[in-house]
Amino acid sequence: MVPEFKLQDLRGHLKLFRVGEILSCKRVARGPEAEVMRLLTTHGEFYARVVRNRSIKDARFEEAVLLHVGQRGLAVPKMVSAGTRGGVLALGPRSQLSVFAPIAGRMLGAFEVRSAHMRAVGRYLAQLHGTSRGLRRRRRHPHQPDRTSTVLQRGLKRAPTREHDQALELLCMELVRHQWGRELPQSIVHGGLGRENTRFEHERLVCAFGFRDSATGPMAYDLAMSIAHWAFPLDDFDISLAHDLVAGYQSLRPLALIERESLYDLCCYASARVAVARFWTHEVGESWTQERGVYRDYRHFVKRLEALQALGAERFSAAVIEAPSRAPLGHGFGATL
């Protein structure tokens, strides 16, 4: 079991960030791999985040991405510096502490999402993908097919019921059928820009966070992950939401031909991958208990995968992908990593 950090454990470390004397601390989010605490101090409001099961190298990549894209005008959380240590403080071999300034806006409710919100998310992703030039750091994408396959095989060995066996067998077939190719244009990617890690003021996206899975990867897969998170109220596929998200994206970066042809497969892969990750964490993993965070049911993403299968690739492409008048054959922004 991964230990849970408490305020008394962190006080000495938090002093390095020079956020003032801590007046109160409240845990506002927690899960198997991270927890977030809201701090009220003599200098104001801050958020402390502890991340587990991550190397310091990957933590430094996230720090570099936030600094890089923030300097280029994207709305991301501002890391508080701990002096010469930067914005990431190692608590152990695979755990780190960071402190962030507060962010504006609020999270949308599931049934508040409208066309304007989707287009804003699409534009944000396109802007993020356009910032790849100048960032020399690289990180292998944590959702790579071989990594997901490893987690799936572990799950198959430990599946507790026949229902789980059947679900994992379906996911196994879909992951093989829809895995992404190396020829897809790549850039900086968020890794899962969904409703829970965006904040809005009315129809304006004012901040995006949750860059823990940011990496170097296919831009179209990042778009597919957002479709998987945003376009399924009650797990039914809302074509209009997906269409608006893609339209917003293409208003700044038209998809290349290979990306348009791959987007349906990438959406299926994204749904299957999230289902596998949730199955491992919440059904058979050792890092989650009822006390450690919200239970996330993998079956929601199995239903999303089934909804995509029922629609089919041809109908998906016709309804979701708004082909621009001049679609590039190459990489859109002209930057591949």
Per the CB < 8 A criterion, the answer to whether 192 and 229 are in contact is yes
Q: Across residues 183-189, what is the average pLDDT?
A: 93
pLDDT at 309: 93
Taking Cα atoms as reference points, which of 270, 265, 309 lies closest to residue 144? 270
Q: Residues of CATH 3.90.1200.10 domain(s) within the chain?
A: 115-320
pLDDT at 159: 61
Percent of the chain with pLDDT over 90: 61
Q: How far is residue 315 from each of residues 115, 159, 229, 264, 310, measured CA to CA in Å? A: 20, 34, 20, 10, 10
Residue 275, SS3 per DSSP = helix
CA–CA gap between residue 83 and residue 17 (Å, rounded): 7
pLDDT at residue 175 tops 80 = no
| Adjacent-strand bridge partners of 79 | 100
Q: What is the pTM of this model?
A: 0.88
Q: What is the DSSP string of 119-160?
A: HHHHHHHHHHHTT-TT-----B-TT-HHHHHHHHHHHHHH--
pLDDT at 297: 83
pLDDT at 172: 76
The gap between the terminal CA atoms of the chain, to the nearest Å, is 37
Render pLDDT for 286-334 as a digit per residue (tens, 0 to 9). Answer: 554 455 567 778 889 999 999 999 999 999 999 999 654 444 444 444 4
How many helices and strands in the chain, by DSSP H and E? Answer: 10, 9
CATH T-level assignment (fold) for domain 7-100: Phosphorylase Kinase; domain 1 (3.30.200)
Q: Residues of CATH 3.30.200.20 domain(s) within the chain?
A: 7-100
- How large is the greatest C-alpha to C-alpha distance in the chain, in angstroms? 59
CA–CA gap between residue 277 and residue 213 (Å, rounded): 13
Q: Across residues 26-40, what is the average pLDDT?
A: 88
pLDDT at 329: 41
Taking Cα atoms as reference points, which of 195, 192, 190, 191 lies closest to residue 113? 195
Q: 67-71, 86-90, 277-281: lowest mean pLDDT where?
A: 277-281
pLDDT at 336: 37
Mean pLDDT for all residues in the chain: 86
CATH T-level assignment (fold) for domain 115-320: Aminoglycoside 3'-phosphotransferase; Chain: A, domain 2 (3.90.1200)
Taking Cα atoms as reference points, which of 266, 265, 271, 220 lies closest to residue 246? 220
